[in-house]
Copies of this chain bind each other. A is one copy, B any other.
Amino acid sequence: MEILFSGICHSDVHVGQNDFGSTQYPCVPGHEILGKVKEIGDKVTKFKVGDLVGVGCFVDSCRECAECKSNNENYCLKGMTGTYNAPKTHGGVAGNQEGKTWGGYAASHTVHEHFCHQIPEGLPLEKVAPILCAGITMYEPLKHWGATVPGVKMVIGVAGIGGLGTMGVKIAKALGHEVVAISQSMKKEKLAKEKGADYYVASSDPESVKNCPVKCNLILNTVSVDHDVNTYLPLLRNGGTIIQLGLCTKPLNISPLILMSQKKSVAGCLIGGVKSTEEILELCAKH
């Protein structure tokens, strides 16, 4: 594919600067890749030359394990192959060099058709790129925890109103849910409401938490700096789940008695599989 756009995700910056200590230079970041098919292999059936296509966070997986067969390639039991800075595994990534993968800050990209997505017609391409990472990151937990079942109406909390969070507010609204935007202070209220949030909570203010008129079935927690998840638990209804999506390293420190006495769950989720990615591209195109 000829690359037309490639998003800049904070993790690209982290890897470029070797913040995780795992960068192998030379390194080509970029995992929100939008472009046009330039050439196809003999066995390709999903695409033709000229198609608009996208590539997200991974470019290979074993495709044989229980996770791959359940459309969870991102949880491949033999390990997914990241779009860049990853050792080539499964023998399937053609076109990359030096035994590792290179990403989207480039002129072209070669990828197996299974890990490449058809982009619906008529979209502003430069805005589609982040759907391939931020979008799927917010959609997958909504799907896994039942919020994409037709007819189901929930109250969805979104903690952290940044790149992931604003995407989360819009997707949850598009799915027909009520949305509670949660940020530390009141500073993000205008932005969150513009994106469609029905309610806004400043989590550093106990009165604001207490006065929220609804309780959430799910909270998508995009906060990516170490923070106290207990602050958010009162916003969850009994039986609800808070899902960690922002990359934090500090252990969660949660009272088992609170989980028990309110049947609450604390969970985590990391991007999503090929099928889910295609679903969120379609949902965004529609809305």
Residues of chain A whose beta carbon lies under 8 Å from any beta carbon of chain B:
67, 72, 75, 77, 144, 238-239, 241, 244-245, 247-270
Contacts and interface: CB of A to CB of B under 8 A. Distances in A.
Given A251-B253, A252-B252, A241 B260 contact: no
How many monomers of this chain does the complex have?
Answer: 2
A3 B80 CA distance: 60
Nearest to A245: B260
Given A67-B238, A72-B238, A238-B75, A244 B260 contact: yes
Contacts of A241: 265, 267
B265 A256 contact: no
B245 A249 contact: no
Given A238-B67, A251-B253, A259 B267 contact: yes
B249 A252 contact: no
B270 A260 contact: yes
Given A238-B67, A239-B144, A263 B269 contact: yes
Contacts of A256: 244, 248-252, 268
B257 A254 contact: no
A67 B244 CA distance: 26
B264 A267 contact: yes
Contacts of A253: 251-253
Contacts of A247: 257, 260
B265 A260 contact: no
